Structure formats: C-alpha cells, structure tokens
Amino acid sequence: MSYSTREEEWADWMRAAMSGDAQAYHRFLSAVTPYLRAMAKRRCDQFGAPASEAEDVVQEVLIAVHLKRGSWDAARPIGPWLSTIVRNKLIDSLRRRGRHVTVPIEDVIATLEAEERADNLDRLDVDHMLEKLKDPQRDIVRSISIEGTSVRQTAERLKMSEGAVRVALHRALKSLAALYRSETREDE
C-alpha cells in the first residue's frame, strides 16, 4: 500500500473516530503504532537504551496523539499533523529520560512512508503512573485496559452512568500525560 493511500485511510479512520467511532479509532491507533515503535526503537538503539524504554516512549506518544487529536483540521491531510506531533513528543519523551536527541522531521516522514512491520512488546511506565491516579479513575483505567471490559460493563460494576465513566476516563488520560511530564523530568 502506498503512503498516500495509507494516509487517506488513516485520515478516514480519524475522522470517524472524532465523531465517536471507537472501532475506527482502534484501527487508526493500531495502524500507526508499528511506525511509532520503529522510530522509538531506532532512537533508543542509538543510546543503547533497552527496548522496553522504546515501548514506554511509544505509549507516551500514543497518549499525546490521543489528547491532541482535536488539533487536527479534518479538511487537511493527516500526515504532516501526525509527523509533527510524533516528532515533538518523541524528542520530549526521550529528553526527559535523559537522552538528548534531535529528530529530523524527514526521518519521521520517511518512517511513516516505509512499509509496515509488526511486533508487539509490552510493559510500562504507565503501570507505575497508574498507581498515582485516584479512584474511580484508576479503577476505570484498569478495568478497561487490563481486564478488557467495556465502558458499559465498567459503569454497571461501579454503579456510575456511562457518561460519568467516559468523563472520568478522559480525565484519567489527561492526568497520565501530566504525570509523565512531571515524573520523568527527574532524570534531567
């Protein structure tokens, strides 16, 4: 698949996602992740940092893309928007981990244009950050991510409305991003 068709597909998914299509959004994030991983790994290899650190960076970048998706103008191509977010967050995240880097935008674009590769690593700073969230945010995040329950099931179990669970989830994701910003800065 060429980059431009892929970019259009990503844009379609993101448009659908922004109007509430969770499945399309899942497809978008899953499609973008291998590229993010390739970029993060390349940078971490450069410093002899472990692969698990690259995966932490990937997750942090994913959260940034998520929280900033409202800044994409749906009438424009998604590529330049995505490359810029990814590059800035990549630099920021690595820097806070004590790895001083520059990431040329051309590299990011080249990786996004390259052929897909798939692998799935895990483990995380997020688990550590999760501990710092307050309930019900922490409970909701755990329940949906690790136990794989839906928003509705979570709402029923916690005797909350679905809307309240969604709001709490959104706040939790914002808090996670803020925790990353304050937490990893100690390395500097």
Partner 1 sequence: MKTNDLISLLAEDAPVRLRLGRRLAFALIGGTAVAAILLLSTVGMRPDLASAIETARVQSKFMVTLALAIAACGLVFHIGRPGISLKPWIFALVAAPLLLAAAILTELAVLPETSWHAAMMGRYARFCVFFIPLLALGPLAFFLLALRQGAPESPGIAGAVAGLAAGGIAASIYASHCPDDSPLFVAVWYTTAIVIVTAIGGLIGSRLLRW
Residues making contact with partner 1 (CB under 8 A): 17-26, 29-30, 33, 37, 55, 58-59, 62-64, 66-74, 76, 79-85, 88, 120-124, 126-127, 130, 141, 144-146, 148, 150-151, 166, 169-170, 173, 177, 181
Of 18 and 47, which has the nearer Cβ to partner 1? 18
Minimum CB–partner distance for residue 161 and partner 1 (Å): 15
Minimum CB–partner distance for residue 172 and partner 1 (Å): 9
CB 16 within 8 A of CB 67: no
Of 66 and 157, which has the nearer Cβ to partner 1? 66
- For 39, 111, 160, the CA distances from 117, given in Å and listed in that order, are 12, 11, 40
Minimum CB–partner distance for residue 114 and partner 1 (Å): 19
Minimum CB–partner distance for residue 10 and partner 1 (Å): 13
Of 69 and 99, which has the nearer Cβ to partner 1? 69
Q: Is the peptide bond before 136 cis (omega within 30 degrees of 0)?
A: yes
Q: Which amino acid is at 135?
A: D
Structure tokens at 53: 């650190």
3-class secondary structure, 95: helix
CB 31 within 8 A of CB 10: yes
Of 49 and 141, which has the nearer Cβ to partner 1? 141
Of 42 and 170, which has the nearer Cβ to partner 1? 170
Encode 38-73: b = buried (16+ Cβ within 10 Å), e = exposed: bbbbebbeeeebeeebbbbbbbbbbbbbbbebeebe
Minimum CB–partner distance for residue 106 and partner 1 (Å): 14
